[in-house]
Amino acid sequence: MFDEIWKFKNEYPAEEVLRKAPGLTDVSGLVLDATVPDETEREEYLNPGPDRFLDPFLMPEMDAAVDRILSAVDEGEKIVIFGDYDCDGVTAAALLYDFLTKTLECEAEWHLPDRNTGYGLSFGFIDEIAAEGPCLLVTVDCGISAADIVEYAAVNGIDVIVTDHHEVTGAIPACVAVVDPMRDDSLYPNRNICGCGVAYKLCEAIAESLGIDGITNYLPLVGLATVGDMMKLSGENRSLVTVALPMMRDTMFPGFNVLMAYCLKKLPENAPPTAETLSFYVVPLINSAGRIKDPGVAMRLLISETESEALGHLNELLELNEQRKVIVDRAYAEFDADSSKLTVSPAGSPVVFVRNDEWPHGINGIIAAGLVKRVGRPVAVLAYDGEDENGTVLRASARSIDGVNIVSLLQKSAGLLIKFGGHEKAMGFSLAESNLDEVIKRTCDAAEEMKENIPAVPCRYATAYLPPECLTVKNAELLKKFEPFGEGNRMPVFITDGIESMGVNTIGQTGRALKFSFSFRGGINVEGINFTDSDYLPMLAGLRPDAVVYTLDVNEFRGTRSVSLKVIDIIEAAAEPTSPDADYGERFGEAKKALDRAFVFTKDELRILYRAFASLGKTFAYRDYARLKAEMMKRGGDAANAFSWFKIKYALEIFTEAGILSREKKGVYTFTDDGLPHPLEQSKTFTFLGS
């Protein structure tokens, strides 16, 4: 909260939408206008289904892959499946293994790497399977960046089929077939399909060739992997997940059923599975196996023959997931306490490199994702990974922000990396420690070239403005037509202004949830909930809120249904109330002006803040400027307007970047007092926010 700029996705929505009587009108037209601006795409978006599935033979070399697998089945040749340790890789391996052994009734075995051996194929693994005799090796969710290892397999008499969905970062492996929609020569329109989706398309192509029915029974695995690997829920992916979700309560996989039954207990009775359910409850459980121990635990759960067998694997997953939570929380606390001790890239770098050799490799992806939210920039988390002929080796997990392709950034250092691969927002790589400084330099230089995509202050976009009259159960229910929500199709985020009063307190056994009570002008009262930001309670208790940022939901309690806001942020702004009689366009315009004022500095406001900070003494801390804000709020007027939490945070950032202040540690600042001029223009944050 309080550290991001909020803007509206559209400058102005369609004039006919909510023009005169917004509280009585279907808001879905407004949402559609913002979500799918291209009218030619709306019919497909609003009507996802199996008729939107694409021809698997459009994928490169699919014919060759199908022919070679059928040849192996006919000859009684063993097929070895090699996957990955995340949700996508595990589900892909489970899908292909079940299809080969149950549908084609052939001999197959599966292998998954662990975090110690690292992502993807290895020379050692090829030696292991070569020692057991001839076989056909099929990779799922990996292999596109393993040209040298695939060549080594061929030398050892092993045919290889690569199925992958990651970007091509080097030579395409020379083997029987490389089925990857990211290839430049691919005719497959969906370049965002997950690894499990590619494995499904391989099985679909085989099924079509043999005239086999029932292939859609595997869609629950594909839907789970699509959400788990954060694939964009547009086009074919949207149809795959839409069809898969209703199937997930009763699948042909006993282990999947046990897993879903456990996770769905967290939802209201008979509530249908959603993409959000998968993201928050199911995917972390699957991933916890590979992050903490052995991804085979999750694999064995998914391919269990009975529910009793599956329960044992589920209990082990639950234990591993609890361990994961403890480690991740501890890592965030360590970073928050003093990020400078962990950061190995220069201060202010457009890409942040963090190193901690004590954090388990399997957790570093989660940590990187959490740190991206904290710093608003791409983050790579590194850790020690042994020694080789070049000395110390480091392994990293990297995550990015919207608009910055992390693979492209690291591509500039390809010659210095031992291996790397991934997709636009998530990747892994390893390198010699001796090359770290140069890799950081090249990556940051590459980021500078695209710095227009990396704002000095994180910026987020709300789908639309809604006046208080629109906060109805009817409108919350109308939004269901836009599901499933996820990557590339986010749940609509709204901003509503006109808050006259706001109450907030913690609830729940852990006290980590916040319950809000809003009173809007016009006598409209609505409750809200936030499950993640209880640390902000002291800040929320003493502010003057103008607008709330939220997603719209329905709360059911003892048979009564009411609208509920899932609160994302609270905006403090100097907004003059607009007449309820004004039309939607006028009210939207006033709300937009208020947002602009809330997130833009004037030099007068910075002078007010400077003098206020100076009154605290040479050194001051969070508790001091928190008390100062409270005093300013009591006084009111222009000074109070300058003292929003957003402006306090970024005034401190501006003064630090300009050299007026130095940051001793988190939350503690000291005036430089060196007698030198410190123009505000030296601050990139002021350049970004100043007016």
Lowest mean pLDDT among 145-159, 217-231, 329-343: 329-343
Each residue's pLDDT tens digit, 70-114: 999 999 999 999 999 899 999 999 999 999 999 999 999 999 988
Note whether 520 and 605 are same-domain residues: no
- 419 with 478, same domain: the answer is no
Which element (helix H / strand E) includes 539?
helix 537-540
Whether a cis peptide bond, with omega within 30° of 0, leads into 677 is no
* One domain, residues 11 and 75: no
The CATH number of the domain where 348 resides is what? Answer: 3.10.310.30
Provide the β-strand partners of residue 519: 501, 525
Q: Please report whether residue 282 resides in a domain.
A: no
Residue at which a domain ends, from 195, 214, 247: 247
**34 within domain boundaries:** no
Beta bridge pairs of residue 432: 393
Domain membership of residue 325 (yes or no) is no
Q: Is residue 488 part of a domain?
A: yes
- Domain assignment present for residue 156? The answer is yes
Q: Are residues 507 and 587 in the same domain?
A: yes
Cα dihedral 643, 649, 652, 653, rounded to 10, equals -140
Q: Percent of the chain having pLDDT more than 90? A: 53
Q: 534 pairs with which residues across the strands?
A: none
In a shared domain, residues 479 and 423? no
- Residue finishing a domain among 538, 567, 592: 592
The verdict on residue 40 lying in a domain is no
Res 578: pLDDT: 64
Q: Are residues 145 and 19 in the same domain?
A: no
Average pLDDT (473-488) is: 91
Determine, yes or no, domain membership for 43. Answer: no
Task: Report pLDDT for 47.
Answer: 93
Measured CA to CA, the distance from residue 62 to residue 177 in angstroms comes to 7
Q: Are residues 213 and 146 in the same domain?
A: yes
Asked which of 399, 423, 453 is the last residue of a domain, the reply is: 453
Owning domain of residue 537: 5-27+466-592
Ramachandran bin of 667, using left for φ above 0, alpha for ψ from -120 to 50, beta for the remaining angles: left
Q: Is residue 379 part of a domain?
A: yes
SS3 415: helix
Statement to judge: residues 360 and 407 lie in one domain: yes
Residue 121 CA to residue 133 CA, distance in Å, equals 18
Q: What is the CATH number of the domain that holds 575?
A: 2.40.50
CATH of the domain at 72: 3.90.1640.30
* pLDDT-based confidence at residue 582 (cuts at 50, 70, 90): confident
Q: Check whether residue 480 and residue 627 sit in a common domain.
A: no
The β-bridge relationship of strands 379-388 and 391-399 is antiparallel
Whole-number Å distance between alpha carbons of 324 and 127:
33
Shared domain for 124 and 234, answered yes or no, is: yes
Q: Mind listing the pLDDT tens digit for each residue in 270-297?
A: 778 899 999 989 999 999 998 888 899 9
CATH number at residue 678: 1.10.10
